[in-house]
Amino acid sequence: MFKKIFLFAGMALMSAQIVTAAELKQEMDVSVGVFDAAKVSLAYTEANGVFDITSKVLTQNLFDTLYPFEGSYKSKGQILTKGVKPEIYETQSKTRRHIRGKTIFYDRFGKPYKRVSFKDKKQNMVRIDDVPETADAADLQSVFAELLINFKQTGGCALKREVYDGKK
């Protein structure tokens, strides 16, 4: 009798382990009609209460000839009981004529307080003071991270967030 109880308890403990790490990688080809327009990749990791999500876009074939574009978008932050709290967001893009980038810094409450952007060799730093009270997310990457977390926990995709990127 005790063997069965210990066996059952041991099986229950083994199945009740807390998952502290997760990883997802996706690579997609984007088509517009019959044209292969771009390659897109998404990499998401979470470990010890921290998320890190990166997306990359690269035009290809005819679209690359007409409008060459390469972009990367990255967000990192903390996973909370309800939602996420971003810490930094970075984006960089390259076209035929320009290289642009933006970094948004967040305070300890997850609200953006500074934006550093550049276009080619010109850099601009702006203090962000006018964050709307209704804004609860400052970048789309963090929203995607929260969507992945919600899907993992509930199996659903329902999520409503107001995105504020430091300008609007």
pLDDT per residue as tens digits for the range 18-75: 445 688 899 999 888 888 899 999 999 999 999 999 999 999 998 899 999 999 999 9
Whether residue 2 lies inside any domain: the answer is: no
- CA–CA distances in Å: residue 79 to residues 45, 88, 125, 144: 11, 13, 28, 13
| Confidence (pLDDT) at 129 | 81
Helix (H) or strand (E) holding 8: helix 2-15
Whether residue 12 lies inside any domain: the answer is: no
Whether residue 164 lies inside any domain: the answer is: no
| Confidence (pLDDT) at 167 | 64
Q: Containing domain of residue 59, as a range?
A: 19-154
Q: Average of pLDDT values for 129-145?
A: 77
Whether residue 161 lies inside any domain: the answer is: no
**Number of structural domains, the chain?**
1
Whether residue 118 lies inside any domain: the answer is: yes
Is the pTM value of this prediction over 0.85? no
Whether residue 166 lies inside any domain: the answer is: no
Q: How confident is the model at residue 159 (pLDDT cuts 50, 70, 90)?
A: confident
| Confidence (pLDDT) at 1 | 34
At residue 125, the 3 state secondary structure works out as strand
Q: Average of pLDDT values for 115-137?
A: 84
Give bridge partners of residue 69 from the DSSP assignment: 95
Whether residue 9 lies inside any domain: the answer is: no
| Residue in this structure with the two tokens 């035009």, named with its chain if needed | 59
Mean pLDDT of the chain: 82
